[in-house]
Chain A
Amino acid sequence: MSDFLFQLLLTFDATLRVAAPLILCGMAGIFSERSGVIDIGLEGKMLAGAFAAAAAAVMTGSPWLGLFAAIGVSVCLSLLHGFACITHRGNQVISGLAINILASALTVTIGIALFKRGGNTPSLEQDMRFRPIEWPLAETLESVPLLGPIYSGVISGHNLLVYVALLAVPLSAWLLFRTSFGLRIRAVGESPEAVDSAGISVYVLRYKAVILAGILCGIAGAYLSIAHGGGFGREMSAGKGYIALAAVIFGKWRPVPTLMACLLFGFLDAATARLQGVELPIIGEAPTELMLALPYILTVVLLAGFIGKATPPKNIGEPYPKGK
């Protein structure tokens, strides 16, 4: 039994690692979509951020400069998204799709030009990465039954950006629901006319929201390439942005439920990796393919209204015509 518990703790530990970028992108998606701007481009921004982080870390040797580069690049893509669909009132889905395709193509193209390694960056040295942080007394407390292993195995020993991701949730919740800025963001996604007639600029608010989304996606990208991984690999975001989008819907555009959805999807992913080819009692070989598809299937079922109802912000996807 203790072996089972040990395995479970390892899986929870892996869950946090897998879920961290999902959580960051999920919060990004919440800000953007709450303000009325659909963000299919989470994936592309994260991928571009991952590349920028690794490239900057390799060139400068500093993970912090890598992180800033990731945020900078990702915010640039956010501004492009804003330029296309806030300023020019273009279709938000098309703009997001273009960003994803551009990110996937540009990272490889620039990667080959800079490093000549088929689109990957060189592997990073240890000091170019965000290293795991051992919490105080982690080793001494390990012998405490139950709580000890949880403290030292699950909570302690992650890199800085995992904790940033976890902190981003209460911060986002506070910002969205406890500040006037958050109130305005939510209002502009529900009824931009009301915000406009109160004398507040719809455009500026939406730009602020997509920039916030850019920052968060940039951190997620840096997490992939210079914290969790040790370098950039082509297409390394591998659909995580879309899973985060699913998590946002699953969490009904609210930070804490979105966190839960990210943890659930992360757990499925972590458990799949562990259960590959394992024979389980009763069901036989673990249905790993089904587990991989489960986030997508669950999201469709939720969207269909069979488990609760996911109501998006009312004005989502609608460009706001100025001066109407």
Chain B
Amino acid sequence: MNAQNLPRWADIGLLPVLNILAALVVSGLIIALIGEDPFRAMGVMIKGAFVYKGALGYTLYYTTNFIFTGLAVAVAFHCAMFNIGGEGQAYMGGLGAGCAVLLADAILPGFLMIPFAVVFASLFGAVWALIPGWLQAVRGSHIVITTIMFNFIASTLIVALLAGPMMRDGQGAPETRPFAESAQMPYMHDLMAWFGIEAARTPLNISLFLALAAAVLVWFIIWRTRFGYAVRAMGFSPGAAEYAGMNSTRIIVLAMALSGALAGLMASNAVLGEPHKLVLNFTGGYGFTGIAVALMGRNHPIGIVLAALLFGALTQGGTELDFEFQTITRETVLVVQGLIILFSGALYYLFAPWVARVLNLTAKKEAAT
């Protein structure tokens, strides 16, 4: 047994755990190095993420964002496309949602307005991913570079729009007017109050259900449809897929569009769900975090939901660090995030030779007895 063909349980169960542990140990060392107690920091983060009143609501609110962006990256990965542009696609999704709401929130009732805005968000996201996908498939333009460029183009475009035609009248801040109530995603605490359960007021809204539904849908599309089969075939071996008569351009473009639509859906949570207006930088780097989520979740919806929960807890727990410590802040959480990307992405097989050696030893012992 060598490092490349570990048993399945070790490959998808043990290695990710070892990688996260490595990331946590290194982050702990860094925190200790700047003179704080890593275990206390961990305790504060866990309390901040799960224990305090309303903490869980915030954690799940962030989790919702990460499910969307993680799924987006994963779908593209299945097609062997590295979509590094989730950030820009989510931003454009926000623009789509914002346009839809500003146009129609005075006339449409809520049960029409919200789906309309959600569809617009996913359409805008899809278009923003579809163009790089098409350029890659037809013109051979490297998708990593084009999606990075599209992030910057989206960012400048939205700055220009928010400081210009979309800016709220009579205000100096680059943001739109607040949305009408018909365009606000129902809050979870309102929903639960309706069922007679009292919950703390948090930004958590029914987008969480949308995210979970998206996860199921992605699983179904990728593993249970012809199109999903084609996507995976294309990702596994483009030559073989084309030889089998699959249309590579169509598959790549559609997979990227699906990926972008998922990223765009983040706006249903981060625009329609909480601020109820389009503001600058509402994406907050969550599109990039989606890459970590997808890597950790091994591109499988179940893994992605779990990884999104971890990152949701890290994000919410990180805000708590600001209050409790002098020198560690929410940026420290970004260190953890960067290390997780490093270990579970670029150094995924770092521990594989050791795991293989241990497994070999135990196998030999068993054979001897």
Contacts and interface: CB of A to CB of B under 8 A. Distances in A.
Interface of A: 38, 40, 80, 83-85, 88, 90-95, 97-102, 104-106, 108-110, 112-113, 116, 119, 239, 242, 245-246, 249, 289-290, 292-293, 296-297, 299-300, 303-305, 312
16 contacts: A93-B82, A94-B291, A101-B288, A101-B334, A102-B339, A105-B338, A108-B331, A109-B332, A110-B34, A112-B327, A290-B160, A293-B156, A299-B145, A300-B146, A303-B135, A304-B135
Nearest to B331: A108
B342 interface: yes
A269 to B, nearest CB: 12
B143 to A, nearest CB: 10
Contacts of A80: 342
Contacts of A303: 135, 139, 141-142, 145-146
Contact of B347 (A88, A92, A245, A290): A88
Nearest to B327: A113
B34 A300 contact: no
B30 A106 contact: yes
A305 B346 contact: no
Say whether chain A's binding surface is mostly helix, strand, loop, or mixed: helix
A137 to B, nearest CB: 43
Given A246-B149, A304-B141, A305-B141, A98 B345 contact: yes
A85 B347 CA distance: 8
B347 A84 contact: yes
A289 B156 contact: yes
B144 A93 contact: yes
A112 B152 contact: no
B329 interface: yes
B99 interface: no
B328 interface: yes
Interface string B156-188: 110110000000000000000000000000000
B144 A40 contact: yes
Given A84-B346, A300-B146, A109 B84 contact: no
B159 A101 contact: no
A312 B339 CA distance: 29
B222 to A, nearest CB: 20
A291 to B, nearest CB: 9
A105 B345 contact: no
Most-contacted residue by chain A among B149, B334, B349, B350 (CB, 10 A): B149
B148 interface: yes
Contacts of B288: 97, 101
Nearest to A102: B338
B59 interface: no
Nearest to B345: A94
B335 interface: yes
A105 B334 contact: yes
B58 interface: no
Interface string B303-346: 00000000000000000000000111101111101110110011
Contacts of B159: 289
Contacts of B334: 101, 104-105
Nearest to A234: B331
Contacts of A296: 149-150, 152-153, 156
B295 interface: yes
A14 B338 CA distance: 34
B152 A108 contact: no
